[in-house]
């Protein structure tokens, strides 16, 4: 199994804190990394599944019972607890003296002030499918480069890569799990077939501005439902939604979004296309999804203080990816081909002369996916 860089952070934080908040999609190794750390610490621990109705009821009725548990308590699927914020706060202020690890596969609804405390204390840890950096550290850069086309087609979920013959089945299970059981404890999805259609449309239109109205008409949904579903899938770590950047310049899009899939394999199973790269006509879309999704994961994993946007005009001039932070603006365009000369929109350079511009292709992506500034 690929060693995870978050393991050391989990170990360090558990040495001096009684609370840890770990979130990320299912099937990426959250349970294993937690158990490995606790076994290495020779720490007694009890795991509770909060999606279980009996467990959930007990913790909602009286969460003080956590004080009666020896060692560490690991609350898996903690997002199902209606009183999650109260429990987190009780651990922080010492009412609950047991060490508690909260593990969520859907971004929970916590008070902003509580989230701010967790982030300032670096107690919130994001764990995703292995990043490019982790894979390269494990296999070596040369081997990871050789495996690049495999990553573009099958993604990064460990159990998918472990058995590529079953990749399609595993990826369909991941989507079904997200849609029907994992869109938080409160949401109910009663239009699963239409939601699947919506996901397929998004998969065929990677990097295009999202038109809620167009998707709604083609899927038999209303605009508000389409928007709500996209937000829910973002909270379930299936999608990334990036807003448009604007600063009052002429023709800039002001209230638009583009959507990328957190994993290329999920995108490809939605369009039923696992063809090798030499048979595909969507390599630029595949490449853009891979590098942008992996960069977003890296930023979230390392708590890099960047704001992320795309830029586009009504005349279809576009910057694929903008990182803004620390008084710097870096603009990126993506292209699968190494030697192709990529043109940057003059209207962007005129409007934002301070921005650094860069191309992400197969010769430059290593640095983009691993830089921490």
Give me the CATH number covering residue 112: 3.40.50.300
Q: Is the pLDDT of residue 345 over 70?
A: yes
The mean per-residue pLDDT over the stretch 142-165 comes to 94
- Assess contact for 242 and 257: CB atoms under 8 A: yes
The one-character DSSP state at 281 is S
Residue 45 lies in a domain: yes
Residue 1 lies in a domain: no
Residue with tokens 């040495």: 15
- Assess contact for 108 and 27: CB atoms under 8 A: no
Picking from 126, 145, 167, the residue at the C-terminal end of a domain is 126
- Specify whether 178 is located in the same domain as 249: yes
Residue 335 lies in a domain: yes
Cα dihedral sign, 7-8-9-12: positive
Picking from 76, 110, 126, the residue at the C-terminal end of a domain is 126
- Specify whether 324 is located in the same domain as 200: yes
- Specify whether 228 is located in the same domain as 193: yes
The pLDDT value given to residue 191: 67
Of the chain, the end-to-end C-alpha distance in Å amounts to 28
pTM of the model: 0.93
The pLDDT value given to residue 1: 76
Residue 25 lies in a domain: yes
Q: What confidence category does residue 180 fall into, taking pLDDT thresholds of 50, 70 and 90?
A: confident
Residue 259 lies in a domain: yes
- Specify whether 137 is located in the same domain as 284: yes
- Specify whether 77 is located in the same domain as 214: no
Q: What confidence category does residue 186 fall into, taking pLDDT thresholds of 50, 70 and 90?
A: low
- Specify whether 343 is located in the same domain as 222: yes
- Specify whether 361 is located in the same domain as 259: yes
- Assess contact for 21 and 44: CB atoms under 8 A: no
CA distance 342 to 207: 17
Picking from 88, 109, 126, the residue at the C-terminal end of a domain is 126
- Assess contact for 299 and 134: CB atoms under 8 A: no
The pLDDT value given to residue 35: 95
CA distance 230 to 232: 5
Residue 157 lies in a domain: yes
pLDDT digits (tens, 9 = 90+) for 32-88: 999 999 999 998 999 999 999 999 999 999 999 999 888 899 999 999 999 999 999
Specify which residues 8 forms β-bridges with: none
Domain total in the chain: 2
- Specify whether 148 is located in the same domain as 209: yes
CATH of the domain at 200: 1.10.10.10
- Specify whether 360 is located in the same domain as 315: yes
- Specify whether 238 is located in the same domain as 306: yes
Nearest-CA neighbor of 181 among 129, 238, 110? 238
- Specify whether 94 is located in the same domain as 241: no
- Specify whether 59 is located in the same domain as 45: yes
The mean predicted confidence, pLDDT, of the chain is 92
Residue 350 lies in a domain: yes
Q: What confidence category does residue 182 fall into, taking pLDDT thresholds of 50, 70 and 90?
A: low
Q: The domain containing residue 23 runs over which residues?
A: 6-126
pLDDT digits (tens, 9 = 90+) for 9-24: 999 999 999 999 999 9
């Amino acid at each position: 199994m690929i060693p995870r860089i978050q393991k050391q952070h989990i170990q360090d934080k558990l040495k001096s804190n009684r609370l840890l908040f770990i979130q990320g999609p299912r099937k990426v190794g959250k349970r294993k990394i937690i158990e490995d750390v606790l076994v290495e610490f020779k720490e007694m621990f009890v795991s509770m599944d909060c999606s279980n109705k009996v467990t959930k009821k007990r913790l909602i009725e009286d969460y003080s019972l956590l004080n009666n548990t020896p060692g560490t308590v690991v609350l898996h699927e903690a997002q199902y607890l209606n009183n999650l914020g109260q429990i987190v706060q009780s651990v922080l202020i010492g009412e609950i003296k047991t060490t508690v690890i909260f593990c969520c596969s859907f971004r929970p609804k916590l008070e902003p002030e509580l989230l701010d405390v967790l982030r300032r204390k670096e107690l919130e840890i994001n764990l995703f499918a292995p990043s490019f950096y982790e894979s390269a550290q494990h296999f070596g850069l040369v081997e990871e480069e050789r495996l690049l086309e495999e990553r573009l087609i099958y993604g990064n979920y460990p159990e998918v890569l472990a058995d590529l013959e079953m990749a399609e089945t595993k990826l369909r299970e991941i989507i079904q799990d997200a849609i029907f059981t994992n869109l938080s404890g409160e949401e109910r999805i009663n239009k699963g077939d239409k939601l699947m259609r919506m996901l397929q449309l998004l998969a065929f239109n990677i990097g295009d501005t999202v038109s809620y109205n167009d998707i709604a008409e083609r899927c038999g949904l209303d605009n508000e439902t389409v928007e709500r579903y996209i937000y829910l899938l973002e909270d379930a770590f299936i999608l990334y939604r990036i807003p448009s950047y604007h600063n009052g310049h002429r023709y800039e899009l002001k209230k638009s979004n583009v959507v990328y899939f957190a994993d290329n394999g999920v995108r490809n199973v939605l369009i039923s296309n696992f063809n090798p790269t030499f048979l595909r006509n969507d390599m630029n879309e595949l490449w853009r999804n891979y590098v942008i999704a992996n960069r977003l994961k890296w930023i979230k994993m390392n708590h890099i203080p960047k704001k992320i946007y795309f830029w586009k005009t009504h005349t279809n001039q576009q910057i694929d990816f903008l990182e803004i932070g620390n008084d710097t603006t870096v603009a990126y365009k993506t292209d699968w081909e190494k030697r192709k000369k990529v043109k940057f929109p003059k209207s962007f350079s005129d409007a934002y002369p301070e921005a650094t511009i860069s191309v992400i292709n197969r010769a430059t992506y290593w640095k983009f996916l691993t830089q921490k500034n």
